[in-house]
Amino acid sequence: MGIFNSPEDIERKANLKKLEDKRVALAQRLAREGFAPERMLFCQTQMGGFVALARFQNQAWLIVSPDFGSDADFAVERLDALDYTRQEVHVKAEGMGGIFGFGKKPETGVEYRVRRPDGSEVCMPFVAGRNGWLEVNLAKNPLLKTQRRRGDANIVWDFKPLDLSTVGRAIEVAEGYFNP
């Protein structure tokens, strides 16, 4: 049995295909409904999914992807009012600061917690050393493309990692969505 035929790899590929099928179905549905925001802001979650925020027709829209490997579906929610909290994040490095797998890397940035219409909250972290982010215009939006991506690629693979040199720009962009 080769490295690319292991049971874990077969399951991973099946999960990627299932996620891409859900994404294409969502993109086709949103295209039929006329959902076409000029820009969209994505941030990666810790469970392998993403949360996206868009402004369309003078409303805020929240898109939450399913976690990787889950049976959940995408959630698209129009927010009458963008109700959120903003919290600064500063975590000092521990041990060897994550070098060679020892200790913990430093984390710095901002977490936005958005209240959903059902009362639950979703976290959008823009934290260096923790996750990735992406801002795209309509023409380059990987979520809204109605055609399948080659190889069942996951959208989060397009995200840019957040590090100390980029987290300031990401927060600046995010503020434009939260406080237009």
* Window from 30-34, 38-42, 51-55, 66-70 with minimum mean pLDDT: 66-70
Q: Is the pLDDT of residue 175 over 90?
A: yes
DSSP codes of every residue in 82-126: --EEEEEEEE--BTTTTGGG-SB--EEEEEEEEEPTTS-EEEEEE
Q: What is the pTM of this model?
A: 0.85
Rounded CA separation 66/21 (Å): 12
Q: What one-letter code names the amino acid at 159?
A: F
Query: Helices (H), strands (E): how many in the chain?
Result: 2, 9
Rounded CA separation 180/178 (Å): 6
Mean pLDDT score of the chain, rounded to an integer? 87
Classify residue 170 by burial, with Cβ atoms within 10 Å: 0-12, 13-18, 19+: buried
Listed by start position, the domains of the chain span: 3-178
pLDDT for the residue 2: 58
